[in-house]
């Protein structure tokens, strides 16, 4: 399926690019506010695409600790973004 032309042209506009960059910059700043474990768990799973077991092995923690860290991280990000 193709995108409607007005959406495609907006997505390619300088305004859209600027807004997108501002949002990415804000997210990067907010990620830095998380604890190292929360940030690592969230980035490894949600951005790098690893599963919970893989994240747990990398961080040398249990899968439950990974789930808890990701839950806390997302809760904090939701609060900070509002």
Q: What is the pLDDT of residues 35-46, one digit of tens each?
A: 999 999 999 999
Q: Look up the pTM and report it.
A: 0.75
| H runs (alpha helix) in the chain | 5-11, 14-33, 36-42, 52-59, 63-81
Q: How confident is the model at residue 50 (pLDDT cuts 50, 70, 90)?
A: very high
Do the beta carbons of residue 55 and residue 41 sit within 8 Å?
yes
Q: What is the pLDDT of residues 9-22, one digit of tens each?
A: 666 788 888 888 99
Q: How confident is the model at residue 3 (pLDDT cuts 50, 70, 90)?
A: low
- Cα–Cα distance measured from residue 60 to residue 56, given in angstroms and rounded to the nearest whole number: 6
- pLDDT (0 to 100) of residue 12: 75
């Amino acid at each position: 399926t193709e995108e409607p032309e007005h959406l495609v042209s907006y997505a390619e506009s300088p305004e859209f690019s600027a807004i997108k960059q501002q949002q990415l910059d804000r997210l990067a700043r907010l990620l830095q506010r998380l604890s190292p474990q929360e940030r690592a768990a969230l980035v490894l799973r949600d951005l790098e695409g690893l599963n919970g077991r893989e994240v747990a092995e990398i961080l040398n923690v249990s899968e439950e600790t990974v789930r808890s860290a990701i839950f806390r991280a997302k809760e904090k990000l939701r609060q900070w973004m509002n």
